[in-house]
Chains A and B, each alone.
Chain A
C-alpha cells in the first residue's frame, strides 16, 4: 500500500462542475493574501474564514474553505465549519417553507421569480398612478374656492379622495407582501447556490475517486 494519499483538487472540480465564470467568485483572492507569507497555515485561513463569515462575505469564506481543504484535506475545524454552514443553510430552507413556494410554481423557481418581479413592477406603476390621481383631487379641493364647486362638487371629490386612499393602502400592502416574497426567493436562490458549492466540496472530500477514478489505482497500488 502506498504511503502517500493522493487528493483531488476541490478548486478544479468546482471549476469543472460550475463553469469557470461561476466558480471564479469562490476561488480567487485568498491565495493572494496568504501567498506571500506562507508561514500561514490551515488554522490561519480557517480563522480568516470565520471573520469573513461574520462580515457577510460568503464568497471569500468559501474561498478559504476550498483553499484550506486543498492544502489540508483533514483539517477538522474547516471540515466542521463547512458542515455547519450546510446545516445552517438547510435549517434556513426548512424554516422558511421554501417547499410551498416551489409547489405553488410547480418547481419552476426561476419562473416564479420572474412572475414576482413582474408583479412588483406592475404594482409600483399602479401605486404611482393612484398617488398622482390623489394629488390632483387634493389640489382641486385646496385651490377651488368657487361657491358652485363647494355646493355641488366638494362632497363628491372628498368621497373620491377617500376611495383612492383606500385603494392606495390596499395596493401598498399587496406590494409589500409581494416584495417580501420576492426578497425571500432571491435570498433562497442565492443560498441554494452556496449549498450547491458546499455540497460539491463535501462530496470531493468524501468521494474523491468519484471525481478522479485514477485515484483508486494510485492510492492502492
Chain B
C-alpha cells in the first residue's frame, strides 16, 4: 500500500472514530467511570480459582472497539492508543462464503464424516425452521425460554436473530453439527 493510500485510509478512520487524541480522551473518561463502579464490585475468588480465566482476557474496563471495523483496528499503527488490556486478536479476515476452505484440517475431517451421517434433508429442515418458523422459540407449548419477554422485546429479539445470518455453506456446517450433536446426546 502506498503512503498516499495509507494516509487516505487513516483520514477516513479519523472521520469515523475521531483522531487519536480524541480516542485517548474518550478512553480515559470511560476508564475513570469504570474504575469507580468496579470499586463497588467485590468478587470472591477461591485460591484454587487463581488460574487464568476468561476475565484475564476481557478488557479490564469491558470496553471494546466496534467490531465491524475490526479490519480497521489493525490499521491503527500506534497500539498505545488502544485501551489497556485489550487482547482481542482480530478474527482472520476471510470471507464467510469460503469458510470450508479456511477451517482447520481436523475440523474439515470431522465435518467430512458428518456428511455420511447427517442426512441432507434434516439439515435443510432445520435451516428451514430457522428461516420460516422463527417464532417457534416463542411458542409456550414448546418452550418457555423467552417467556419473560414482552411482545415488543420478543419482536426485537426475533429481528436481531435474523441478523445473525451467515452464508449457506456456514449455515449448513452449523446445522449438521447441531443435528449430529442432538443425535449423540439422545438417551
Contact = CB atoms under 8 A, between A and B. Distances in A.
Contacts of B51: 31-32
B151 interface: no
B173 interface: yes
A4 B65 contact: yes
Interface residues of A, number: 77
Best-buried of A2, A90, A192 by chain B (most CB within 10 Å): A90
A156 interface: no
A54 B170 contact: no
Interface string A54-94: 11101001000011001111111101110111111111111
B161 A83 contact: yes
Contacts of B63: 4-6
A94 B142 contact: yes
A218 B166 contact: no
Which of A35, A40, A91, A183 has the most chain B CB atoms closer than 10 A to its own CB? A91
B119 interface: no
Given A9-B58, A84-B130, A183-B187, A54 B137 contact: no
Contacts of B181: 53-54, 56, 58, 61, 85, 88
Contact of A77 (B30, B64, B170, B187): B170
Interface residues of B, number: 77
A72 B164 contact: no
Contacts of B141: 99
Contact of B180 (A9, A53, A196, A198): A53
Interface of A: 2-9, 11, 27, 30-32, 35-36, 38-44, 47, 50-51, 53-56, 58, 61, 66-67, 70-77, 79-81, 83-94, 98-99, 183-184, 186-187, 190-192, 195-196, 198-199, 202-203, 205-207, 214, 218, 221
Q: Which 10 A-B pairs have the closest CB atoms?
A: A199-B145, A41-B89, A56-B184, A35-B52, A183-B187, A88-B178, A53-B181, A79-B164, A74-B67, A84-B174
22 contacts: A3-B17, A3-B26, A4-B64, A4-B83, A5-B66, A7-B62, A32-B52, A35-B56, A35-B57, A41-B90, A43-B91, A44-B104, A71-B88, A72-B88, A74-B68, A77-B174, A81-B174, A84-B126, A87-B137, A99-B142, A206-B160, A221-B29
